Amino acid sequence: MNPDLSRERASATFNPEFITHILDGNPENTRRRREIEDLIVNDPDFQHEDYNFLTRSQRYEAAVKKSAIMVKKMREFGIADPDEIMWFKNFVHRGRPEPLDLHLGMFLPTLLHQATAEQQERFFMPAWNLEITGTYAQTEMGHGTHLRGLETTATYDPKTQEFILNSPTVTSIKWWPGGLGKTSNHAVVLAQLYTQGKCYGLHAFIVPIREIGTHKPLPGISVGDIGPKFGYEEMDNGYLKMDNYRIPRENMLMKYAQVQPDGTYVKPVSNKLTYGTMVFVRSYLVGEAARSLSKACTIAIRYSAVRHQSEIIAGDPEPQILDFQTQQYKLFPLLATAYAFQFVGRFMKDTYYRVNEGIGQGDLTELPELHALTAGLKAFTTWIANAGIEECRMACGGHGYSHCSGIPNIYVTFTPACTFEGENTVMLLQMARFLMKSYNQVLSGKLVGGTVSYLNDLPSQRIQPQQVASRPNVVDINSPESLTEAYRLRASRLVEMAAKNLQTALSHRKNREVAWNLTSVDLVRASEAHCHYVVVKIFGEKLLDIQEKSIQPVLKNLYLLYSLYGINQKSGDFLQGNIMSVSQLTQVNQRIMELLTEIRPNAVALVDAFDFKDMTLGSILGRYDGNVYDNLFEWAKRSPLNKTEVHESYYKHLKPLQSKL
């Protein structure tokens, strides 16, 4: 064990195990997760070469092989609980993408939530047993987030009781779905439904694309891999073109909307029910933002405790770079953010399951907010986590650029989350629609609930005397309640400002869409402020649940740093809104510097509490034992370029050139 890390762990004021239990939900979850991880660590079938030294084709094949073994072992070990499946999958693939991701994460959940009982009988068990391997084909070459713009058509033919699927233009070719290129034999295809001469918008269809047994594309289907990408080398993201391709009427997912044999369309109770799978994945991505940022923080903070560089006092030994205030200012706010997102991820997951249960019983009241909240928080958390992972890489200096650090892999695997399942700016604008609707309800005298209930206070705030309203509040910068209130006021102000600017634009132009576009920057700011408030609120409420005395001050410090750093970064909003004064903002900055010093002794213990095994991190720099340099040298020696002392290119190209000189 590296002596620096031993000293860091010994000086911590708490046992990391207590926080691990909180992050997992309870001690039993921690025990079970570790039990599953140990099954994989000790299984020779899951040992493999370092992916960094494999070609793309080798990485794809290794991922398919591991996925097939993974499914076999899950059956063998009797793993069927959704959380346990996710733990098993993430640990087998070490957080990397794999060709069955969309089969497990989107195809099966879509069947579960949108198929009728008869359809589930036909498709679910074969899919569960991998006789059917599926993907989710929504995005097209020409359209992604703008679902209404999708061009793929499904036209009903009542004579044969079939849907005829077509990709009428080059831009309508399905493009990007994971597992489509080479792995899947079925796809859930989103297409514009035409029946009795009328278009009824997007609906989902189960489409066989390859022959079972030979795996060859079926007649009328063109399918393949879209080529190399920024990352995701293990994943066969694909294209799908359909030419007058027929499927039975019964292959339309009909739990909600239906087409009867004669072509009569029966509409669903709510159009949003069709987007259930997307809502599920977006809520999952909030947790994924937390996990990815937590991994990057673990690597950067452990390495910063091991790495010695430069001098603080001339003549003294080189300090750990974690002792430099600038390094703490880079990393500790990100650590606090990772914890905030961990709690928000758990909140979103619980909310999704609770609302989904209500939908099953016919209660759709919370569906609009769930739809908005998953869109907004997905955007808010993924953007911040994405930038934070890159900050962690740069905080590791030159070695952070090497794949041995593990951070480049975390980054390229996570960064697509900013665009898939809804491009982030569009997601924030979706949330803004919900905020504007809620604001207008309050204006008309109705009360709103859930996370937007703060808007109910707007009318009473407006009738206060001007001189009182313009005096800044006194914010207690050490009080979670007071800080949550400050964020609430900021969100309230920015939502109202966006609503008024939208109204002004509408009064000058009749077209609502043009007015919306001209106000879109303000609308995005309002959505970000709302999401920021929700995160601060959830983090603050989590503090009240903590029973263990030794970790209460530790997590409170992280909460304060997260909240105060956010105020520091968005100080203009708090000043303009008369929420805080200039002198209070100066105090905020001073308190941030104090918190860096207070968090410093517990920094390594706080990343240990995330409980990532070295196998999951895939990092030489972030090793638990801190033995970085010997392992870095050994890793470099394994490079394929070092298999021979003299590379063949020398004899082919350089030697002939040198002999002519």
Which active-site residues does the annotation give? Answer: 421
DSSP state string for 213-253: TT-PBPTTEEEEE----SS-TT---EEEEESSEEEEGGGB-
User: 345: which residues sit within 8 A by CB, 6+ positions away?
Assistant: 286, 287, 288, 289, 290, 291, 381
Read off the amino acid at residue 395: A
From the CB of residue 640, how many other CB atoms can be counted at a distance below 10 Å? 10
Q: Are 515 and 509 in contact (CB under 8 A)?
A: yes
Query: CA 638, CA 616: separation in Å to the nearest integer?
Result: 20
Instruction: Tell me the C-alpha to C-alpha distance, in Å, between residue 643 and each of 290, 653, 655.
Output: 39, 19, 20
- Residue 470's alpha-carbon distances to 16, 172, 476, 581, 645, in angstroms, are 45, 54, 18, 11, 74
Give the number of other Cβ atoms within 10 Å of residue 177's Cβ: 28
User: In the chain, what are the helix, strand and coil shares in percent, each to the nearest 5?
Assistant: 60, 10, 30
Other C-beta atoms within 10 Å of 494: how many?
A: 26
What does the DSSP 8-state code read for residue 441? Answer: H
* CA separation for the pair 527, 452 (Å, rounded): 11
CB 442 within 8 A of CB 455: yes
Confirm if 305 and 323 have CB atoms less than 8 A apart: no
**Tokens, residue 590:** 């001073």
263 Cβ contact partners less than 8 Å away, ≥ 6 residues apart: 156, 158, 195, 196
- Partnered with residue 294 across adjacent β-strands are none
